[in-house]
């Protein structure tokens, strides 16, 4: 990862927002990172809480040709995080569509935002990874964690960032050659596999069976196979206590 790719701020409201505000000034491949994000946000308009100087909080700006496979990018990012953390012997799972779990708790979140201009798509890939946080905000501590809390070790955030970017770059160059082998990692590390979930939008229960080549979650309801994209459904654990239900949303 070349240094000139990174624009770093000691503090910033949101790295995704910064890229969106500077979309036409930034070179594709630019990484915007901050030591402290004050108004970070995630999927479903949730806020992303940060702690000064302890986590990895960054966004990557890409410009790609729009194809029927572009929606796989968020899975590609999840697979890159899995491979990068594996280098540090940190064995994570993906809670479809794009949360990263360590010991069943959320350690990272991914938010991919897009702007389509003619046949091109501008991608803003936001990643929040809890690295050295010692204590999480009480509102999230039952379902979130940090690498330090799970491994009792402090990590160099820059070295982890380099590992993530190495795998992201590798998977992206394969993706541009229409090689989607990163989907195998998403399938192998599917935290929801064989779990019964409640599909909120359809008010029905089903068992998670797979993730298909379109990045859709494959579920079985009685003898019917259902497939949903990440933007179509939210899931709730259908049989566990409320605390765990929150975990699945």
Q: Which is nearer to ligand BTN, 220 or 245 (CB)?
A: 245
Q: CB within 8 A of 170, min separation 6: which ones?
A: none
Query: Rounded to an integer, what distance in angstroms lies between the CA atom of residue 94 and that of residue 32?
Result: 24
User: What is d(CA 13, CA 15) in angstroms, rounded to the nearest whole number?
Assistant: 7
Cβ 106 to ligand BTN shortest distance, Å: 7
Q: Please tell me whether residue 97 binds ligand BTN under the rule CB under 6 A.
A: no
* Residue 182 interacts with ligand BTN (CB under 6 A): yes or no: no
Q: How far is the CB of 118 from ligand BTN (least distance, A)?
A: 26
Q: For residue 218, count other CB atoms closer than 10 A to its CB.
A: 17
Q: Output 59 or 237, the one with its CB closest to ligand BTN.
A: 59
> Residue 244: enclosing H or E segment and its boundaries?
helix 242-248
Residues between 23 and 82 with contacts to ligand BTN, criterion CB under 6 A: 37, 40-43, 46, 48, 57-59
- Helices 157-176 and 73-86, interaxial angle, to 10°? 140
Which stretches of the chain are DSSP H helices?
A: 15-21, 73-86, 147-151, 157-176, 182-188, 242-248
Least distance to ligand BTN, CB of residue 230, Å: 11
The smaller minimum CB distance to ligand BTN, of residues 52 and 176, is found at 52
How many angstroms separate the CA atoms of 110 and 101, rounded?
12
Write down the least CB distance from residue 227 to ligand BTN, Å: 22
Q: Kindly list the residues in this chain that would bind ligand BTN in the complex (CB under 6 A).
A: 14-16, 37, 40-43, 46, 48, 57-59, 99, 109-111, 126-128
């Amino acid at each position: 990862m070349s240094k000139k790719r990174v624009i770093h701020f000691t503090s910033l409201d949101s790295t995704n927002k910064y890229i969106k505000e500077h979309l036409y000034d930034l070179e594709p491949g630019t990484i915007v990172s901050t030591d402290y994000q004050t108004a970070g946000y995630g999927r479903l308009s949730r806020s992303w809480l940060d702690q000064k100087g302890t986590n990895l909080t960054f966004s990557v700006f890409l410009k790609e040709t729009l194809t029927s496979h572009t929606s796989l990018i968020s899975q590609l990012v999840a697979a890159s995080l899995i491979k990068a953390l594996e280098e540090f012997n940190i064995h994570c799972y993906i809670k479809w569509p794009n949360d990263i779990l360590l010991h069943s708790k959320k350690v990272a979140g991914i938010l991919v935002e897009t702007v389509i201009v003619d046949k091109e798509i501008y991608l803003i890939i936001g990643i929040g990874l809890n690295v050295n946080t010692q204590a999480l905000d009480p509102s999230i501590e039952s379902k979130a964690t940090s690498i330090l809390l799970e491994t009792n070790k402090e990590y160099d955030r820059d070295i982890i960032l380099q590992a993530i970017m190495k795998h992201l770059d590798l998977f992206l160059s394969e993706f541009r050659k229409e090689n989607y082998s990163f989907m195998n990692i998403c399938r192998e590390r599917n935290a929801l596999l064989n779990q019964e979930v409640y599909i909120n939008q359809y008010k029905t229960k089903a068992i998670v069976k797979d993730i298909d080549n379109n990045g859709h979650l494959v579920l079985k309801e009685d003898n019917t196979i259902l497939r949903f994209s990440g933007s179509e459904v939210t899931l709730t654990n259908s049989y566990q206590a409320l605390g765990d239900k929150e975990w699945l949303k």
